[in-house]
Structure 1
């Protein structure tokens, strides 16, 4: 008789969402939050390369210095989603033992990010709501705003975001997603079809996409990410490191100061960060999720990859909004899609296109609905969105590393 092995669940710090726990937040609304961990700030060639490798972005505008020199940028730039590698746009504050699920960003992009720029982030707590959900019962929706300035104190981008704060024990007991078959049982033929879709990616590049040529109802060539594996997630961590990642005594000293940040892995006996929910099944199950899953910033980075592919070197992402409605698990595949739903001149006379976006998994679920606005060059007007966004030539790739 074969005994079925009992699944292990990590033992994490667990808290309860109470009025007392939230009391201090009311006085902090509008306050700047201390950003304890920044990963990239200086925009080096290596920092750009690690990030675009980490999200699987093949666009030569961000990878090939010789190619970039021939564009209007004049040198290598980072993609707008590279800002996720500075810090993940949010700060974990209060409510120890209450899980934080990054659940969406609303971006506005103002200036390009040049190689050798230095980016400084700021984060502000803007409020919260208390709600109930089928996933975890009582939960808190926490709102923050992140701003990113370059070395000339120019605002490069800003984003409003929200986090879902949920009781781990309640989410685990409810088991909303426990009936999913994970990992997904791909056949060899099905997995090969995903590979073919990945390889069908198109980068518009130096062939301008003119506003006049775009039609309402037009669909973007999908960008496909998957089959999503452990190495894919590790590559993202190498490129963006959403949390502080260290080893041995360096990290242990932090865990001793902040016990709620870590747990001892029941499989190996090693200390692991709560961030381990993304790559350890025992950790994911401890927070009520049946399997390891992606990072929200990683997924929205994939979406921005779709947009930069489509707009070409002369296009500009004005706004990018997305909500993370479902988890994307290791073993999933995701089809990032877009459809043109609007076309107009904005109040500043720029030719804009509104795009409805989605991120469909192999189960047919839209894991990340969203809406974006891009600005395209106009053949008739002879304009490009870069006309008013490129800095003077003396500021293009001429920054220096910040002093320590």
Structure 2
């Protein structure tokens, strides 16, 4: 189904490292203007129905002239992940550090640039030899004002059938009817902070954030998110693109291996197709790591309230999230630093699966208002 390799080759790695520091040629951006509809579609695609992102009257009532986009909306402009070279290695999103400078507002026009920052050659306890490709992506408005910087990490692993190929094996989570009912009750009873400001002087070190559930993961979650960020393409356009890039490789995007663009079945199809998932080493359809990043961002924005500001979201993805998996997201306050205009709060955040395995973890920095 896919190109395979004899493993991670040192010579190929040396050649790939020559690309470090070079700007990559990006594909056509999906959302270049943050329209009201694209913001709403993205938010709903993540399962986030905060009216601040969707309701113009609500936004105005709470001090905003225009609808504000969720901080992670930038995934729908260009989902960051710079991993050129190694067409025979599979890629898995390993996490990101977002540094948010300026909120994205309705009708903002957005430009993007990206480059490969580094390639790390590591030996994982479970995964064996793995490459971690580090990218830097900048998002700016048309005046050059910086909106956000993303520092992404992508795991690169040989596919099954190659030496050191990935092979994940575990059964699907099958909750009982009573467990499903308890999960749904917790989901519908969860309340975001919303319009009531969370003031900096009301927060204490060690304070726990209310637990939030996401899942059990269903294929609809994956499809809704893929549509929200433009990560799916019609079969006809895929054929036309593939043939065009075969004839004009010099015009192909360079943030991914050219070999991926020429394959009839894209490697990312494992997010929806169980046969492809198994071909890349997963036991079943698995989530897009970008979606998990957005869920962690939503966990923070729900807690801080509409008057807060998310400044940094830094999350490491550790294990795949398969269809059927339930995530239990928790966190706590680790520091509180009052400033002249706001209070800076550092959070530790994490998500465990239903089997208590750590799915992802990280930190977030928010600014909360003074009274």
TM-score above 0.5, yes or no: yes
- How far is 1:170 from its partner? 5.8
The equivalent of 1:345 in structure 2 is 338
Residue in structure 2 matching 1:300, options 293, 302, 306? 293
- How far is 1:136 from its partner? 4.1
- Map 1:262-277 → 2, pairs under 5 A: 271-277=264-270
Q: Distance in 2 between matches of 1:317 and 1:212?
A: 17
Residue in structure 1 matching 2:2, options 3, 7, 12? 12
> Which of 1 and 2 has greater Rg?
1
Tell me if structure 2 keeps the 8 A contact 1:54–1:235: yes
The equivalent of 2:198 in structure 1 is 209
Residue in structure 2 matching 1:316, options 309, 325, 329? 309
Structure 2 residue matching 1:132: 3-state secondary structure: strand
Structure 2 residue matching 1:13: 3-state secondary structure: coil
Shift of the 291–355 alpha-carbon distance from structure 1 to 2, 3 Å rule, reads: same
Q: Distance in 1 between matches of 2:93 and 2:290?
A: 8
Q: Distance in 1 between matches of 2:296 and 2:270?
A: 22
The equivalent of 1:61 in structure 2 is 52
Determine if the alignment matches structure 1 residue 189 to structure 2 residue 182: no
Q: Distance in 1 between matches of 2:234 and 2:343?
A: 50
After superposition, give the CA deviation of every residue in 1:268-290 in whole Å (9 maximum; x if it has no partner): xxx53221111112111111111
- How far is 1:132 from its partner? 2.1
The equivalent of 1:103 in structure 2 is 94
Determine if the alignment matches structure 1 residue 51 to structure 2 residue 42: yes
The equivalent of 2:358 in structure 1 is 366
- How far is 1:259 from its partner? 5.5
The equivalent of 2:84 in structure 1 is 93
Residue in structure 1 matching 2:348, options 356, 361, 377? 356
Tell me the number of residue pairs that the alignment of Structure 1 and Structure 2 aligns: 357
The equivalent of 1:113 in structure 2 is 104
Deviates more, 1:166-175 or 1:314-323: 166-175
The equivalent of 2:16 in structure 1 is 25
Unaligned regions of 5+ residues in structure 2, if any?
247-257
Calculate the TM-score normalised by the size of structure 2. Answer: 0.91
- How far is 1:350 from its partner? 4.0
The equivalent of 1:395 in structure 2 is none
Tell me if structure 2 keeps the 8 A contact 1:261–1:274: no
Determine if the alignment matches structure 1 residue 132 to structure 2 residue 132: no
- How far is 1:172 from its partner? 9.0
Deviates more, 1:20-29 or 1:158-167: 20-29
The equivalent of 2:250 in structure 1 is none
Q: Distance in 2 between matches of 1:377 and 1:223?
A: 24
Unaligned regions of 5+ residues in structure 1, if any?
1-10, 264-270, 380-404
Determine if the alignment matches structure 1 residue 142 to structure 2 residue 133: yes
The equivalent of 2:253 in structure 1 is none
- How far is 1:108 from its partner? 0.8
Q: Distance in 1 between matches of 2:90 and 2:287?
A: 15
Shift of the 145–353 alpha-carbon distance from structure 1 to 2, 3 Å rule, reads: same
Q: Distance in 2 between matches of 1:246 and 1:69?
A: 36
